[in-house]
Chains A and B, each alone.
Chain A
Amino acid sequence: MRQGDYIRTGSRRANLRRLGIALISPVVIYMLIVMVFPFIWALFVSLTDKKVGSEGAFIGLQNYGEIMKDPLFWRSVLNTVIFTAAAVLLKVVFGVVMALLLNERIVFRNLNRALLILPWTIPTMVSVLIWQWIFSDISGVLNYILLNLHLVEERVGFLASRSLAMGAVVLVNAWRGIPFVGISVLAGLQCIDGTLYEAATIDGANVLQRFRSVTLPMIKNVTILATIVTTVWTLGDFEIVWVLTKGGPSNGTQILSTLSYTYGFMNMDIGKALAVALISFPPLAVLIHFTTKRMLDQS
Chain B
Amino acid sequence: MKKLVALILAAVLTATLFTGCSNSAGQNGGGGTDDEGGSTKFTVWMLKNFSDVSNQYFVDRSEQFGAEKGIDVTVEMIPYAEFLTKWTAAIESGETPDVTYMGYQEAGMFAAQGVLMDLSDVYQQIDEREALYPSLRSAVSYEGAQYAIPYWTEPIVLHYRKDLLEKAGYTEPPKTWEEFREIAKACNDAATGVIGAGVGFGKNNSDAEWFARAVIWSYGGALFSEDGTSSIVNSKETEEAVQLISDMFLVDKSVAPSAVNWDDSSNNNAYLSGQAAMVINAGSIYNNLKTSDEELYAKTGVATLPSGPAGRYIPGVCNNLAVFKNTENAELAKEYLLYMTEPESYREWLADGAPLTCPIYESFKNDEIWQDPVNKAFIDTVDSFVFLGYKTDFNPAAGEVYTQRMVNDMFQQVLVEQTDIPTALQNLQDQIDAVIGK
Q: Which A residues have a C-beta under 8 Å from some C-beta of B?
A: 31, 34-36, 38-39, 41-43, 51-54, 135-139, 153-162, 165, 236, 245-252, 257, 260, 264-268, 270, 274, 277-278, 281, 284-289, 291-293, 296
Contact = CB atoms under 8 A, between A and B. Distances in A.
Interface stretch (B5-13, B33-41, B145-153, B375-383): B5-13
B256 A41 contact: no
B250 to A, nearest CB: 12
Contacts of A265: 84-85, 88
B412 A250 contact: yes
A249 B203 contact: yes
Nearest to A252: B416
A183 B384 CA distance: 63
B266 A285 contact: no
Given A157-B258, A236-B17, 6 more contacts: A41-B19, A137-B256, A159-B258, A160-B260, A160-B416, A249-B260
B18 A277 contact: yes
B12 A35 contact: yes
Contact of B12 (A39, A54, A236): A39
Most chain A CB within a 10 A radius of its CB, from B20, B202, B260, B263: B260
Nearest to A258: B203
B436 interface: no
Interface in B108-128: 109-110, 113-115
A296 B257 CA distance: 51
B275 interface: yes
Nearest to B115: A53
Contacts of B28: none
A281 B203 CA distance: 27
A75 B31 CA distance: 42
Contact of A155 (B92, B193, B403): B193
B251 to A, nearest CB: 15
Interface string B1-33: 001001101111111111110110000000000
A37 to B, nearest CB: 9
Contacts of B19: 38-39, 41-42, 274, 277
Contacts of B202: 246, 248-249
Interface of B: 3, 6-7, 9-20, 22-23, 84-85, 87-88, 91-92, 109-110, 113-115, 190, 193, 202-204, 256-261, 263, 266, 269-270, 273, 275, 403-405, 409, 412-413, 415-417
A250 B256 CA distance: 17
Nearest to A248: B203
Given A153-B190, A160-B261, A281 B110 contact: no
Given A39-B19, A160-B260, A286 B10 contact: yes
Given A138-B273, A165-B261, A293-B6, A249 B416 contact: yes
A137 to B, nearest CB: 5
Contacts of A264: 88
12 contacts: A38-B19, A39-B16, A52-B115, A160-B261, A247-B203, A248-B260, A250-B412, A264-B88, A266-B404, A285-B11, A285-B14, A289-B7
Contacts of B109: 268
Nearest to A135: B258
Contacts of A53: 91-92, 110, 113-115
A249 B412 contact: yes
A231 B363 CA distance: 62
Q: Which among B15, B18, B84 has the greatest number of chain A C-beta atoms within 10 A?
A: B18
Contacts of B203: 245-249
Contact of B258 (A160, A250, A291, A293): A160
B258 A136 contact: yes
Q: Which 5 A-B residue pairs are closest in the complex by CB-CB distance?
A: A157-B257, A157-B258, A277-B18, A248-B203, A288-B10
A162 B260 CA distance: 11
A54 B112 CA distance: 11
A54 B275 contact: no
A285 B12 CA distance: 8
Contact of A160 (B3, B14, B257, B269): B257
Contact of A139 (B23, B259, B275, B403): B275
A52 B113 contact: yes
A31 B8 CA distance: 12
Contacts of B9: 288, 292
A244 B203 CA distance: 11
A291 B13 CA distance: 12
A38 B23 contact: yes
A51 B269 CA distance: 36
B18 A52 contact: no
A38 B15 contact: yes
A35 B257 contact: no
Nearest to A296: B6
A157 B257 CA distance: 5
B1 to A, nearest CB: 13
Best-buried of A31, A162, A245, A268 by chain B (most CB within 10 Å):
A268
B257 A266 contact: no
A52 B91 contact: yes
A248 B15 contact: no
Nearest to B253: A154
Contacts of B88: 52, 264-265, 268
B16 A35 contact: yes
B112 to A, nearest CB: 10
A152 B353 CA distance: 42
B269 A138 contact: yes
Contacts of B16: 34-35, 38-39
A28 to B, nearest CB: 12
Contacts of A266: 84, 204, 403-405
Given A52-B92, A52-B113, A248-B202, A156 B15 contact: no
Nearest to A286: B10
B15 A35 contact: yes
A228 B218 CA distance: 55
A248 B22 contact: no
A251 B258 CA distance: 15
A138 B256 CA distance: 8
Given A42-B18, A52-B88, A277-B18, A35 B110 contact: no
